[in-house]
């Protein structure tokens, strides 16, 4: 069996130093629900595991005047229990609630979901819809990347080997703004998204003044679909407007056929979800 090393730094600085000093395959243990399964499947691969969950700020969430500063390793169960966050970002919390079971939510984190970079990740479309920014730390210092630019391909992202995600910053929504996330799965729980859609809308006088539409599990990465948003902006989200947005989402999707769904099914479903998520977000925004 290959040598494995487990490290559990207590501070961000310690984590940065460990990451810089480690060579070979280094993995950040941000949640565990993906990494530990990958480890069991490849026991012969030597690696260094850096468990960042013992760094307090990595697992906490702070709501400032401007933004939510989300510790990337805060487990989904802790996040979904935060009523203050849910009130501001219902779509994000919905997406965290949809990841796996209660047990999985006790481990999985938004940061882990982002860094695992699966096309079907539930929280990624929600983060993009909310204009989230990813604060990345490495030996060269800190840099900030938009959520939509973080994931670069299936299982790939913009992190360099010696960098890690230290915080996800989500700006407080404008007045009369709300988000929603929906995904499609064959059962009611547990499955991986066949398709997903996150929508954030701002409503002024009953009319949508701005919108972001993001679709998931229908392309190598979650996709921001401005064409779909454009169908919503300036409308009251009538049936025709929603259908147009759905068609735009379907057109933007470039899914694959696999055991979870065919190209045709996914393209259709992502349209349905876009329509439904937009309606929910619109309703919420009107009530805000």
Partner 1 sequence: MKTHVTTRINDETVEFLCEPQQTLLHVLRNELGLTGTKEGCGSGDCGACSVTVNDRLVCSCLVLAVEADGAKIGTIEGVASSDKLHVIQEKYLEHAALQCGICTPGLIVSTKALLEENPNPTEAEARYFLAGNLCRCTGYDKIIKAVMDSAKSLNQGA
Partner 2 sequence: MSEAKQYKYIGQRTIRPDGFDKVTGRANYGADLSLPGMIWGKILRSPHAHALITKLDTSKAEAHPDVLAIARFEDFPTVNAAAFAEGRQDKGLVDLASNILADKKVLYHGHALVAVAARTEAAAAQALQLIEVEYEVLPPVMSIDQAISADAAILHEDMFTQGLAETPSAASNIASRMELKKGDVDAGFAQADVIVEREFSTPTVHQGYIEPHATTVRFDENGTSTIWCPTQGHFDVRASTARLLGMELGQIKVTASEIGGGFGGKTTVYLEPVALILSRKAGRPVKMVMTREEVFRASGPASASQSRIKIGAKKDGTLVAMQASLYYEAGAFKGSPMGPGCMTVFTPYDVENMWVEGFDVVVNKAKVAAYRAPGAPQAEFAAEMVMNELAERLAMDPIDFRLQNAAKEGTQTLYGPKLKAVGLVECLQAAKTSKQYQTALAEGEGRGVAAGFWFNIGGQSSVIINMNPDGTGTILEGSPDIGGSRASMQMMAAEELGIPLDRLNPIVTDTEHVAYNQTTGGSRTTFATGMAVVEACQDIVAQLKSRAAAMWNVTSEQVDWQDGSAINLAGEDKMTLAEVCAIAEKTGGQISGRGNINARGAGPSFAVHLCDVQVDRDTGKTDVVRYTAIQDAGKAIHPGYVEGQYQGGAAQGIGWALNEEYVYDQNGIMENAGFLDYRIPLASDLPSIDTIIVEVPNSFHPYGVRGVGETGIVPPLAAVGSAVSNAIGLPITALPCSPPRVLKLLQDAGQ
Binding site for partner 1 (CB under 8 A): 1, 3-6, 8, 29, 32-33, 36-37, 39-40, 43, 49, 51, 53, 75, 77-78, 81, 100-104, 106-107, 188-190
Q: Tell which positions 43-102 bind partner 2, by CB under 8 A.
A: 43-44
Q: Tell which positions 140-159 bind partner 2, by CB under 8 A.
A: none
**Least distance from partner 2 to the Cβ atom of residue 104, Å:** 11
**Least distance from partner 2 to the Cβ atom of residue 249, Å:** 14
Task: Find the part of the chain contacting partner 2 (CB under 8 A) among 24-32, 83-91, 159-167, 262-270.
Answer: 262-270
In the block, residue with structure tokens 């025709």: 240
Task: Find the part of the chain contacting partner 2 (CB under 8 A) among 54-62, 81-89, 122-130, 267-275.
Answer: 267-275
Residue 265, contacted partner among partner 2, partner 1, none, CB below 5-8 A by kind: partner 2
Burial of 189 (0-12, 13-18, 19+ CB in 10 A): exposed
Residue 103, contacted partner among partner 2, partner 1, none, CB below 5-8 A by kind: partner 1
H or E element at residue 284: helix 263-287
CA distances from 79 to 31, 118, 125, 189, 283 (A): 13, 20, 17, 18, 23
By C-beta, is 71 or 271 nearer to partner 2? 271
Q: Give the separation between CA 97 and CA 73, rounded to whole angstroms.
A: 15
Q: Is 57 left (phi over 0), alpha (psi -120 to 50) or beta?
A: alpha
Residue 120: φ, ψ to 5°: -95, 5
Q: Give the separation between CA 248 and CA 22, rounded to whole angstroms.
A: 45
Are the beta carbons of 107 and 77 closer than 8 angstroms?
no
Q: What is the CA radius of gyration of the chain?
A: 19
Per-residue DSSP letter, 159:
-
By C-beta, is 46 or 140 nearer to partner 2? 46
Q: Inter-axis angle of helices 263-287 and 239-252, to 10 degrees?
A: 140
Q: Give the separation between CA 263 and CA 250, rounded to whole angstroms.
A: 10
Residue 106, contacted partner among partner 2, partner 1, none, CB below 5-8 A by kind: partner 1
Cβ within 8 Å of residue 193, ≥6 positions away: 98, 120, 122, 183, 184, 185, 216, 217
Task: Find the part of the chain contacting partner 2 (CB under 8 A) among 82-90, 125-133, 157-165, 179-187.
Answer: 179-187
Residue 261, contacted partner among partner 2, partner 1, none, CB below 5-8 A by kind: partner 2
Convert residues 27-46 into a mask of x (bound to partner 2 by CB under 8 A) and - (unbound).
Answer: ----------------xx--
By C-beta, is 122 or 241 nearer to partner 1? 122
| Helix, strand, or coil (residue 55) | coil
In the block, residue with structure tokens 């735009």: 248
Binding residue for partner 2, selected from 269, 277, 280, 281, defined by CB under 8 A: 269
Residue 240, contacted partner among partner 1, partner 2, none, CB below 5-8 A by kind: none
* 272 touches partner 2 by CB under 8 A: yes
What residues make contact with partner 2 under the rule CB under 8 A?
Answer: 1, 43-44, 184, 186-192, 258-262, 265, 268-269, 272
């Amino acid at each position: 069996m290959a040598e494995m090393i487990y490290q559990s730094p207590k501070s961000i600085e310690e984590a940065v130093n460990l990451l810089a000093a480690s060579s070979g395959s280094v993995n950040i243990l941000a949640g565990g629900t993906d990494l530990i399964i990958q480890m069991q499947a490849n026991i012969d691969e030597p690696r260094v595991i850096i468990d960042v969950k013992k760094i307090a700020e990595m697992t906490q969430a702070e709501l400032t005047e401007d933004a939510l500063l989300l510790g990337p390793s805060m487990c989904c169960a802790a996040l979904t229990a935060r009523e203050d966050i849910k009130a501001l970002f219902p779509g994000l919390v919905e997406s965290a609630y949809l990841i796996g079971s209660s047990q999985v939510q006790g481990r999985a984190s938004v940061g882990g979901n982002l860094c695992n970079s699966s096309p079907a990740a539930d929280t990624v479309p929600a983060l993009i819809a909310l204009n989230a920014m990813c604060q990345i730390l490495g030996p060269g210092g800190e840099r900030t990347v938009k959520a939509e630019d973080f994931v670069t391909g299936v299982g790939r992202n913009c992190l360099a080997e010696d960098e890690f995600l230290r915080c996800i910053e989500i700006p407080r929504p404008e007045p009369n703004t709300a988000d929603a996330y929906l995904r499609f799965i064959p059962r009611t729980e547990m499955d991986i998204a066949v398709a997903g859609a996150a929508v954030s809308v701002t409503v002024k006088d009953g009319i949508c003044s701005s919108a972001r539409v993001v679709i998931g599990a229908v392309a190598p990465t979650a996709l921001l679909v401005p064409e779909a948003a454009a169908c919503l902006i300036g409308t009251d989200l009538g049936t025709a407007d929603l259908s147009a947005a759905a068609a735009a989402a379907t057109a933007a999707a470039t899914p694959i056929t696999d055991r979870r769904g065919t190209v045709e099914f996914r393209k259709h479903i992502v349209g349905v979800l876009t329509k439904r998520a937009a309606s929910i977000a619109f309703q919420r925004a009107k009530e805000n």
